[in-house]
Chain A
Amino acid sequence: MKPLRILIVDDNRDLSDSLGILLEEQGYLVTVVYSGEEAVDRAREEAIDLAIIDLKLPGINGAEVLRAMRRLQPGCQNMIMTGFHVDRLLTEATEDGAVCVLHKPFPMEKLFTQLAEIQQN
């Protein structure tokens, strides 16, 4: 089975870098970016199967990144990470087709379960 190509978008480098290493060790092809602008640039250049996007980003926010992903990479699945439980951006993102929401802080096991499900499909 071809490994999933994953794009991680979070301006908290401690989180995005740790996640990047962890997922690489799990055998995924990972690209880590720290802003919405970088994420959109990457989406223009390379194919992505799954984007894990933080909702609150400086500049282009997570909901806007999600919409850009859907336009540029129609086959890409999108996950949202957020510290907010109720939020306008979260509602937007959910309506725009986010496959799941990871409420920060989330245990790694939960992320792996979600990834396994996506890999299956």
Chain B
Amino acid sequence: MPGTNDIEKLLHCFFDAGLIGMVLSTPRKEIAQFNDTFCGIVGYSRAELATMTWKDLTHVDDLQASTAQFDRLMAGEIEGFSQDKRYIRKDGNIVDVRISSKCTRKADGTVDYFITFVEDISERKQAEEMLLRYEQIVNASTDHLSFIDSNYHYLAVNQRFLDVFGKRREEVIGHSFADVLGKERFEKFSKPRLDRCLAGELIRFESLFDYAGEGRRWVEVQYLPYRREDGTVAGVIITVHDITDLKNTAEELKKHRQHLQELVAERTAELESAQQELLRNERLSVLGQLTATVGHELRNPLSAILPAVYLLKMHMQSDDKRVTSALERIERNTGRCDKIIAELLDFTRMTDFALQPLSFDAWLAEVLDEQTVPEGLTVRRELNLAGAVVRIDPDRLRRAVINVYDNACQAMAREDNPNGITPAPCLTVSTRSINNRIEIRIRDNGNGIPADVLPRIFEPLYSTKSFGMGLGLPTVKQIMTQHGGDIEIDSNGGHGTCVTLWLPLDLTEKGPGS
């Protein structure tokens, strides 16, 4: 056993060892004894501390709690306490400390001294704060994050993880992957990947995931090996990131890009066709001007032939059939020349297209009235538009109707009927409003158009007639397309032909019967 002196010596050793700040203070809060470690914690010299009290050192916000404990000690309610508090150092910085106090009492029970251990816990406090910060950052993430050890047990998860799976933290932490998310899912799906990750591989994959309350979402999952300092893998950090919006956006983008490409292709095609049309129109325009000039110039000499022939006829007074036939031939062929010019001018006429509203059936009846009906031909009219007013270029459309009408008359006038039976020639002109169209239909019961001719019928300069330039139907087609409509031919070899000239219904100003 050491003697009293030895014990005193040993206690001094304790006091000066500097393992922890030690203070002996009085009930009046004066600091009576303290070691160098305490000086170091608060940053004051021995001389300065000798004149100070606890109150001077304690952070103002911790003063009340400190005083409360002090008062309880003084009152004899407790013998000691531990408390985390803050001191203000001499340099003004705050230092976090943990104090543990006990009092020694006199025989009457009043406090004699306070013995206090002061531990600097700044580093621990900082670390705790840092941890809290990280925890908040991790919890703020909309990804769900988790950390499992090499035995597939959860060591940490963020708030989002708990929200997504609808679990409390204690239901997850320390439990296995299989317990938390299901055995089957673990065995079949997750374990093989986790094992690869635990072997050191970074795993990334996309997957469909059913979120509670949010439905099925696309997620990107990442398994990141968690390595100790020595490089061995001690666990897996799992991040699950919702990429549904991204995927949808990418899909949308892809669709838009495709659509854009289609649009570009479409526009390019349109432009090309427009350019070709322009070139064609330019060529036709030059050709048209040329034709118009030549045509009109030719009409002048032609017009001089007719009065000359007339004079001849008057003065020859010949009964010689050869002479009269010759004169008639001159007249007839002058007429043919004029027809050729008319056909040419019709086809090449590009301008002067002007629409005007006309009562359609009445207009068509007038056009038909002007036409001569060949002998033996019946013309039937079935005009069913009942007063509809349609915007047309009457002069151009008249040309189209007459052209088709003449063709029909000629088809029925031919004598080479292949069937050997000639039905009574009958031509039916009808109008109707059907399928967003205004239609004029001209039907004959002539020979029909041979199958080999039909495909070429709209080719300019293609003709099966002795006198014709082959511009008739191309001109009709041109006139109809100028109106936004078209021509359709339905011909059954040997059983007549039906030609439909149609106009778009939106040219109608006043509907049928209204």
B296: contacting residue among A14, A84, A108, CB under 8 A: A84
Chain B residues whose CB sits within 8 angstroms of the CB of A97 once the complex forms: none
Count how many pairs of residues, one from A and one from B, have CB atoms less than 8 Å apart in the complex. Answer: 52
A104 and B299: CB pair below 8 A?
A: yes
Instruction: Give Cα distance in the complex from A18 to B352, angstroms.
Output: 34
Q: Which residue of A lies closest to B308 (CB)?
A: A18
A55 to B311, CA, bound (A): 24
Question: B134 near A: Cβ within 8 Å?
Answer: no
Chain A residues with CB below 8 A from B302, complex form: 104-105
A15-B307 in contact (CB<8A): yes
Output the least CB separation between B309 and chain A (Å). Answer: 9
B296/A83 in contact, CB under 8 A: yes
Q: Is the CB of A105 within 8 A of B305?
A: yes
Interface contact A83-B303, CB-CB below 8 Å: yes
CB distance from B195 to the nearest CB of A (A): 91
* Min CB–CB distance A11 → chain B (angstroms): 9
Bound state CA distance, A12 and B305, in angstroms?
Answer: 11
List of B residues within 8 angstroms of A105 by Cβ: 299, 302-303, 305-306, 334, 338
Chain B CB within 8 A of A2 CB: no
B contacts with A: majority SS: helix
Instruction: Determine the interface band of chain B, counting residues with CB < 8 A from chain A.
Output: 20 to 34
Any A CB within 8 A of the CB of B512 = no
Whole-angstrom distance between the alpha carbons of A25 and B338 in the complex?
Answer: 27
Say yes or no for A19: interface residue by CB 8 A criterion: yes
Cβ B300 vs Cβ A25 within 8 A: no
Contact present for A19 and B307 (CB under 8 Å): yes
In contact, B295 and A14 (Cβ under 8 angstroms) = no
The complex places the Cα of A105 from the Cα of B305 at a distance, in Å, of 8
Q: Determine the residue in chain A with the shortest Cβ distance to B351.
A: A86
Give a binary string over A12-38; 1 marks a CB under 8 Å from any B CB, 0 the rest: 101100110110010000000000000
- Report A39-74 residues with CB < 8 Å from chain B CB: 56
What is the bound-complex CA distance between A18 and B301, given in angstroms? 12
Given contacts A12-B304, A104-B302, A106-B306, contact A18 B296 (CB under 8 A): no
22 A-B pairs in the complex with CB atoms less than 8 angstroms apart? A12-B300, A12-B301, A12-B304, A14-B301, A15-B303, A18-B304, A18-B311, A22-B307, A25-B311, A83-B295, A83-B296, A83-B298, A83-B299, A85-B345, A86-B349, A86-B352, A104-B299, A104-B303, A105-B302, A105-B303, A105-B306, A108-B306
B→A interface (CB under 8 Å): 295-308, 310-311, 314, 334, 338, 345, 349, 352
- Beyond A14-B308, A84-B296, 14 additional contacts (C-beta under 8 Å) are A12-B301, A12-B303, A15-B304, A18-B308, A19-B307, A22-B310, A25-B314, A56-B296, A83-B296, A86-B352, A105-B299, A105-B302, A105-B303, A106-B306
